[in-house]
Amino acid sequence: MKIALFNDNRLGVVADGRVYDLTETVPWDARCAQDSLEQFIEKFEYWKPQIEIGLTSFPSHPLQEVKLRAPVPKPSKLLAAPVNYLNHQSEMNAQFNNAPFTIEKLGLFLKAPSSIIGPEETVYLPRKDRRYDYEAELAFVIGKKAKNVSAEKAGEYIFGYFALMDMTLRGPEERCWRKSFDTCTPIGPWIVTSDEIPNPNELQIRLWVNDELKQDANVRDTIWNCYTCLAKASEIMTLYPGDIITTGTPEGIGPITKGDRVRIQVERIGEFSVNVDFAEDQE
Ligand code: MN
């Protein structure tokens, strides 16, 4: 099932080019969309059959007539994987570092949840004199409380998957500092529930800047796959429904600047685009 937030954070299911509105069917307060989403996630097995049976009876809109929102608007945690693809590891160490680093040495890092935006929004780059890069990633949202979960069991704790752009300032600052600017985490276009993704570790990820293909890789080339990322994170901290883990970017990173249009696509999930501008050119 494709779970979307749309317009003023209403809850929808996307099917056959339409968005079916569940806002009046399940408990949902659009002013507290994250809280509502977490409750919906925890009760999803209860709601799922009713939604499937009643879907076409719910009010609906053509997909192109709604404004999609970030499908996970305000998670308590947004964890991210650094240098998690072997070919990107070589690229990073060649360009930015003399000492090689690996995800095994670094672990995951926290990125500010307040950096999240949705499809068709604008990424505002705060500093004109610094380099910002796009990073295409597969991300997932936690489905139930997880602590010390093994990689073998990790799939049971994932509610669903979506595409994420980890817009990144290059430079010597801490990752948290360089990756937490407002608007620098576009996510979307919706959550695809785990039952529709039998193997998340085999999905193709692509990213274009101004229709030029820049990244084209498969999650199978990660060093820590989705399940290992969840397992490792749950050794350190309790993961809660609604938390996000993003699994890192493959090779092909490069700079973005004002006027760019960036599009991400993940196999079996979908695609969305964002625009890029300089923050200081705004009011
Ligand atoms: Mn990243």
Render pLDDT for 219-238 as a digit per residue (tens, 0 to 9): 999 999 999 999 999 999 99
Question: 64 alpha carbon to ligand 1 midpoint, in Å?
Answer: 29
Alpha helix positions (H), the chain: 33-42, 44-54, 86-96, 103-106, 175-178, 226-236
Distance 22 CA to ligand 1 centre (A): 33
Of the candidates 216, 243, 188, the residue with the CA atom closest to the CA atom of residue 88: 216
CB hemisphere CA count around 221 (13 angstroms) = 15
Query: What distance in angstroms lies between residue 26's CA and the mean position of ligand 1's atoms?
Result: 34
Is residue 98 pLDDT above 60, yes or no?
Answer: no
Q: Which DSSP state fits 57?
A: G
Mean pLDDT confidence for 28-50: 97
Confidence of residue 156 (pLDDT cuts 50, 70, 90): very high
Ligand 1 centroid to Cα of residue 3, in Å, is 24
Of all residues in the chain, what percent carry a pLDDT higher than 90?
A: 90
For residue 6, the cross-strand partners are 10, 68
65 closest CA partner among 14, 107, 99:
14
Characterize 254-282 residue by residue with b for buried, 16 or more Cβ atoms within 10 angstroms of its Cβ, and e for exposed. eebeeebebbbbbeebbebbbebbebeee
Model confidence pTM above 0.85: yes
Closest CA to 228 of 20, 220, 62: 220
| Burial of residue 247 (number of CB atoms within 10 Å: 0-12, 13-18, 19+) | buried
Per the CB < 8 A criterion, the answer to whether 220 and 84 are in contact is no
Higher confidence at residue 214 or residue 282?
A: 214
3-state secondary structure of 245: strand
Q: How far is the CA of 59 from the centre of ligand 1 (A)?
A: 38
How many angstroms separate the alpha carbon of residue 54 from the centre of ligand 1?
39
CA of 168 to the centre of ligand 1 (A): 7
Compute the distance from residue 32 Cα to the ligand 1 centre, in Å. Answer: 28
Contact, 184 vs 115, CB < 8 A? Answer: yes
Question: What was the pLDDT predicted at 93?
Answer: 72
Determine the angle formed by the axes of helices 33-42 and 44-54, rounding to 10 degrees: 90
Between CA 214 and CA 249 the distance in angstroms is 12
Token pair belonging to 201: 């570790």
134: CA distance to ligand 1 center in Å? 9
Q: Measured in angstroms, how far is the CA atom of residue 39 from the centroid of ligand 1?
A: 28
| Residues 185, 164: Cα–Cα separation, whole Å | 7
Query: What is the CA(164)–ligand 1 centre distance, in A?
Result: 9
Coil, strand or helix at 267 = coil
Q: How far is the CA of 34 from the centre of ligand 1 (A)?
A: 23
Residue type at 10 in one-letter notation? R
Q: What CA–CA distances, in Å, run from 9 to 18, 33, 104, 129? A: 16, 6, 38, 35
137 Cα–ligand 1 center, Å: 7
Report pLDDT for 97: 60
185 Cα: distance to centroid of ligand 1 (angstroms): 10
SS3 state of residue 161? strand
CA of 81 to the centre of ligand 1 (A): 6
Please, which pLDDT band fits residue 281 given cuts at 50, 70 and 90? confident
Cα 24 to Cα 171: distance, rounded to the nearest angstrom: 47
Ligand 1 centroid to residue 36 C-alpha, Å: 28
Say if residues 107 and 202 touch (Cβ distance below 8 Å): no
What's the burial of 73, exposed, middle or buried (CB within 10 Å: 0-12/13-18/19+)? buried
Give me the pLDDT at residue 151, please. Answer: 98
Query: Which residues are bridge partners to 69 per DSSP?
Result: 5
Compute the average pLDDT of residues 173-201.
97
